[in-house]
A = this chain, B = another copy of it.
């Protein structure tokens, strides 16, 4: 393994070029006008897999295509399926970016561009490790499969049927994923679970047109006001979500999980300073910030819009107002049922003087927890410790990975999540970035992990 690790260290510049080349492709899966860019990113990944020495092909789904690659020439060794994605989130307000989101810039050791940490930069770590083994040892110590998709950021709507259809092709002992982050800079981290997700758009409509707010104000229901009331009603005075039955099935922590959680508590002042807020939210009563963002469910407004948004004044009653709302769920909360209850609750609370339409974006995703007893967990702890020189933190992630419960259900395989993105990487926001040293440590970790898993 040492020569493979050496190979990683000697090829950081070549590997940086892989990342910047891939990040230049604006593969925004949520935007129809970027459809061909997602395909280009998938094709680019296939080509790289082949150059590294895997057999690879682009495969079609009902939506964006994906790439499948494999090199299974280690009889008797276990088989691992690496999962990742090369699609990215929209850029948001371009004026907030220092450079173009798809023009990678390196500054002070950071690579800044959309996809640098989520997830293009991290997907490529597995190909760096595979290349290192193949160029130095001429073989891989494990059987390796890769499934790199192009619609994670829209909730992987076509992945479940694909996996069901290709169950044999994808058969494996466990899944390896790097799509998460470090708890703190320099602190190696294993993510032991993710929250579920339900994403809604509420659209209220009132009068046929925007109306003069003087002439008609007071007589006609204002959709923006009705929306504000509806959104304000989603939490009670303890900041608990008011959807009936929302907390009924929430799993309580085991003593072991409680210990891991306690070890991963946040320095709340430092965290607030990093995010640029004077103080954190009080949030759900009875829980710390670290708990509220990982093991407790939430209801967030992701966007809100209606009426006049320009400069100065326009005295109108808006004809329409809307909001994007997402629910993050925790183990045992049934996402599909909670999605239905959200719709019922919104419809019930909406006054008759406005019309309501509810859109659901992406599938309802359940939460997931990695079993603490998993064999690969021990190997990963060891590989991380050797590479970073520190004992890894075991955390629960607040974000969602729809594919984890799906892999469990269809392939019967659990997932190991090794993430290398900095807490300040600003995934999904402007100036997304990754520390190049973290990518290098990630590649070394995975190179070592392959060795442990094969021995």
Contact = CB atoms under 8 A, between A and B. Distances in A.
A449 B96 CA distance: 59
Dominant secondary structure at the A interface: loop
B308 A212 contact: no
A227 interface: yes
A33 to B, nearest CB: 10
Interface residues of A, number: 100
A289 interface: yes
B30 A311 contact: yes
Given A215-B398, A305-B305, A300 B210 contact: no
A397 interface: yes
Interface in A267-285: 271, 275-284
Interface in A210-231: 210-222, 224-225, 227-229, 231
Contact of A224 (B209, B279, B323): B323
A217 B406 CA distance: 23
B305 A317 contact: no
A318 interface: yes
A221 to B, nearest CB: 4
A217 B325 CA distance: 12
A316 B92 contact: yes
Contacts of A430: 209-210
Contacts of A208: 275-277
A397 B216 CA distance: 9
27 contacts: A31-B311, A90-B314, A92-B210, A181-B215, A206-B277, A207-B275, A212-B399, A212-B428, A213-B428, A215-B397, A215-B427, A216-B275, A218-B281, A218-B294, A219-B289, A221-B280, A224-B323, A228-B229, A228-B231, A228-B232, A277-B353, A278-B355, A301-B318, A301-B321, A302-B318, A304-B304, A305-B309
